Every structure is written in C-alpha cells, then in structure tokens.
Amino acid sequence: GVKDYKLTYYTPDYETKDTDILAAFRVTPQPGVPPEEAGAAVAAESSTGTWTTVWTDGLTSLDRYKGRCYDIEPVAGEENQYIAYVAYPLDLFEEGSVTNMFTSIVGNVFGFKALRALRLEDLRIPTAYIKTFQGPPHGIQVERDKLNKYGRPLLGCTIKPKLGLSAKNYGRAVYECLRGGLDFTKDDENVNSQPFMRWRDRFLFCAEAIYKSQAETGEIKGHYLNAT
C-alpha cells in the first residue's frame, strides 16, 4: 500500500546535529493533505523514501540515513502555506559534490503530487561538509607566478558581447585588450561551445592573440577559458 510518510519522516522531537544539512522549504499541500504529511513527504522523497514499502528497506538503516522534517510552521499572512524544516544526515551526500547535494535536496521532490507548490527558502551547510570541497587547485600566488606580475593588482576583463561573436572576432577582442595593457581576459560564464563559436576555435584564436600581444608588449599575458 501507499506509505504514510508522517509515521517515519515527521520527527518533531529530533534535535539537529552540527553536522546536519538543514533546509527550509515553503510548502503548499494539496487539498486534504495535512501540513505534517507534506513536510514529511519532502523529507522522504529527498532522502530515503519511496511511495510504497519495498523489501530492500530492511537492508539499510533508515534511522541513520533518512531526512527528517523536525518542525513545520504556518507562513504568516498566507493561506495553506507552511515552512517545513528538514534535517539531512551528512552521509547522504557525496563529499565535495554540489551537484549531488542539490540533486537530492531540490531534485525529484519538486514533482511530488502531494504538494501544490514547493520552494527552497534557506539552506545551512555545515562546516564538516564545506571542508570536503578542495577548492581551486592553486591561488593568487600561482597566478602571479604564471603572469610574472607582482606588487600590484592584476587587471583583466570579460569579453563583450558575451554571445554572438565569431571565434576570429573574439580572438581579435582578446588581442586588443591584452595589447592595450590588460594582464588577462576571460570568457563569460555562458560562453561554452555554441554554433557561432566552437570551443576549439576560440582556444586557437585566443592562443594566437596571447602570443601576438606577448611578442609586442614583452609581458606575459593570459586568457581564462570556460571549460565547464
């Protein structure tokens, strides 16, 4: 049969841990769905829950891995809207993966039929999880060493318009910026490998611009390519 999520995933007596990831969801339940059930459904569907009992439930420790709706409050001035507070144990998430964390917390749960509307309002990420992110492989000192620039701020810019330039014209803009005195240029965040400018073509024209500007200025120049 269909599970009553509230029995397992609504735990008002739960005391949150410093290592829990805490989320606050604005929940609008469907007519006839109690707010506690809606909050529990969010906790379940974004962690270990599914709509029915399966035999493999007995092969894991739900108490260790399940998300918990530990509080739910009505939203002042709004009808049938609630803030559901959900705690997730750290072991649910891959270390150092924003993608995995958000896929779990704001993924499949947004299509859940028991909810008319759902919105993630706030998120607390504990220090224990933040420390699993390695961050950039190197910092400002390495950048200074690569550019051979010390004792002053590095000066750079993003190429505009960010979309629509051909690779050749993009490279021309990079050259003009570097030749004019900038230390580096960079791709905008939504410049990838679109039909008007493929990544490989951009790489080649930017490399040409760098080598040419370096030869003319006697300085080391750089361009940061978006590789995401």
Encode pLDDT of 103-156 as tens digits. Answer: 999 887 887 778 899 999 999 999 999 999 988 888 899 999 999 999 999 999
Instruction: Kindly report the pTM of this predicted structure.
Output: 0.68
Residues 124 and 153 in one domain: no
Q: Which of 103, 131, 159 represents a domain boundary (last residue)?
A: 131
Residues 127 and 167 in one domain: no
Residues 52 and 146 in one domain: no
Q: What residues make up the domain containing 171? A: 140-224
Residue 107: which of 135, 67, 74, 56 has the closest Cα? 67
39, containing H or E segment: helix 35-45
Residues 86 and 192 in one domain: no
Residues 99 and 16 in one domain: yes
Asked if residues 198 and 167 have their Cβ atoms less than 8 Å apart, the reply is: yes
Residues 88 and 171 in one domain: no
Residues 65 and 173 in one domain: no
Quote the pLDDT of residue 111: 74
Give me the number of domains the chain comprises. Answer: 2
Cα gap 218→188, rounded to integer Å: 27
**pLDDT tens sequence across 100-111:** 999 999 887 887
Residues 24 and 117 in one domain: yes
Residues 53 and 112 in one domain: yes
| pLDDT band (50, 70, 90) for residue 62 | confident
Q: Which of 131, 164, 181 represents a domain boundary (last residue)?
A: 131
What radius of gyration, in Å, describes the C-alpha atoms of the chain? 25
Residues 127 and 149 in one domain: no
